[in-house]
Amino acid sequence: MAIWKEPATSKRDDLLTVPEPLARPEAEPRLDTAPAAFAPPRRAPEVPSVESVLGSGLSIEGKIEGTGHIRIAGRFHGDVNVHGNLAVERGAKLVGGIQAETVTVGGEIEGNITGASRVELLESGVLTGDLKAASLTVAAGSRMRGRVEFGWDDGPAAAARKPNARTEAGPAS
């Protein structure tokens, strides 16, 4: 049995007490002063989300190559080879070959589209030339004149997966 009585604390008193401030951690070392052995590994360049635009009042001849997205609202005469998306706006015209990941045609293209993962022909789109893509979407009202191949995987990996003609037809008798 204790001679003294410990003071009782109520829950209300606990709520009114202010906690002590947390101790601040030491300052983190700056990355630019770290030795080169601890530098983070470099990554492969990614497709930037920045879009280059050829305005509706412009007419340009040349060649477009690189990484990024392109939107053509004017007139362009030349080849386009980009690791990114290409959009040809309504009223725009492109004369030349195209290689891009996604091609959206709202204007007019005279030339071949090859190696695209997706091609979209909008209702105002006109394509005069051959098209080879993994996927094709055609809106009512669009027009096209040329050969079309889509849905075929003709890459090196597909060639390795295809059985040769002899095993496909069965054993010769």
User: Strands 51-54, 69-72: parallel, antiparallel or unpaired by DSSP?
Assistant: parallel
In the predicted structure, residue 84 carries a pLDDT above the cut 70: yes
Q: Which amino acid is at 42?
A: R
Half-sphere exposure for 65 (CA within 13 Å, toward CB): 2
Tell me the domain boundaries of the chain.
55-153
Model confidence at 43: pLDDT above 90: no
- Binned at pLDDT 50, 70 and 90, residue 50 comes out as confident
pLDDT averaged over the chain? 78
Residues 118-161: pLDDT tens digits? 999 999 999 999 999 999 999 999 999 999 999 876 654 444 44
Between residues 156 and 112, the one the model is more confident about: 112
